[in-house]
């Protein structure tokens, strides 16, 4: 995160992320906020415990800050991958580019009944403090709906448009930025004129 802290936009690729733990969601999100914010909570039916997850006030290295962040999603993004997208979307912190996710929000345990039969039983319910619900069974909608294969190019294009808008507001900067502006324009032209594979 320290390495990318000086970049002007960030793209996080969750298209093949099939899950993880709520602690990691809060940890990654901590780099994208200046102050601690609440993430989702989980109620465990087995233990009767409620665990609230927050971003951290202290992180190793440098924060990315409040610059533009784009998350790439697909129909394969699941569980913890969806959780990061959902929680950040509820805070209005990211633009989600790609496909709607399948909707695996709640924690489950797998029980083998016979060598050929198993069942999944939900033991933990996740709730976001803003929406007061979660994405179980409904998934996380993208802000910019495109096929997963096109999501990276589309997020790159959106980031460059945001950078160009920012450059247009920096009239006082020296002409050294003109070379950078030309690079941005050339890359935008390439992304606009080249059909996605």
SS3 of 101-140 = CCCCCCEEEEEEEECCEEEEEEEEEEECCCCCCCCCCCCC
Helices (H), 35-126: 80-90
Tokens 């790439």 belong to 72
Of 167, 195, 173, which Cα lies nearest the Cα of 9?
167
Q: How far apart are CA 8 and CA 118, in angstroms?
A: 48
Q: How far apart are CA 51 and CA 179, in angstroms?
A: 50
Confidence tier at 173 by pLDDT (50, 70, 90): low
Give the residue, 180 or 71, on which the prediction is more confident: 71
Contacts of 83 (CB under 8 A, 6+ apart): 22, 25, 40, 105, 126, 135
pLDDT in the model for residue 170:
67
Average pLDDT of the residues in 73-102: 97
Q: What is the mean pLDDT of the chain?
A: 92
Encode pLDDT of 8-46 as tens digits.
999 999 999 999 888 999 999 999 999 999 999 999 999
pLDDT higher than 80, residue 146: yes
What are the CA-CA distances from residue 48 to residues 43, 104, 119, 132, 159 (Å)?
7, 21, 22, 19, 44
Q: How far apart are CA 18 and CA 40, in angstroms?
A: 18
Asked: is 10-148 a CATH 3.90.226.10 domain? The reply is yes
Per DSSP bridges, beta strands 50-54 and 38-44 are antiparallel
pLDDT in the model for residue 194:
67
Q: Is 51 helix (H, G, I), strand (E, B) or coil?
A: strand
pLDDT higher than 60, residue 172: no
- Extents of the domains making up the chain: 10-148
Average pLDDT of the residues in 158-176: 77
- The pTM of this model reads 0.86
Per DSSP bridges, beta strands 117-127 and 38-44 are antiparallel
Q: How far apart are CA 103 and CA 111, in angstroms?
A: 21
Give the residue, 60 or 168, on which the prediction is more confident: 60
């Amino acid at each position: 995160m320290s390495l990318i802290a000086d970049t002007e936009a960030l793209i996080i690729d969750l298209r093949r992320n099939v899950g993880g733990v709520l602690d990691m969601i809060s940890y990654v999100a901590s780099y994208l906020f200046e102050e601690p914010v609440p993430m989702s909570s989980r109620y465990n039916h087995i233990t009767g415990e409620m665990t609230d997850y927050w971003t951290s006030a202290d992180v190793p290295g440098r924060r990315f800050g409040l610059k533009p962040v784009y998350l790439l999603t697909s129909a394969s993004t699941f569980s913890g991958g969806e959780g990061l997208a959902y929680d950040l979307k509820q805070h209005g912190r990211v633009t989600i580019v790609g496909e709607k996710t399948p909707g695996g929000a709640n924690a489950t345990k797998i029980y083998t009944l016979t060598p050929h039969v198993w069942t999944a039983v939900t033991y933990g319910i996740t709730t976001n403090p803003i929406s007061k619900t979660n994405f179980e069974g409904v998934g996380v909608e993208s802000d910019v709906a495109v096929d997963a294969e096109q999501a990276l190019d589309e997020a790159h294009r959106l980031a460059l448009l945001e950078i160009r808008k920012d450059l247009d507001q920096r009239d006082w900067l020296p002409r050294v930025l003109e070379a950078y502006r030309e690079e941005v324009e050339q890359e935008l032209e390439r992304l606009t004129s080249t059909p996605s594979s």
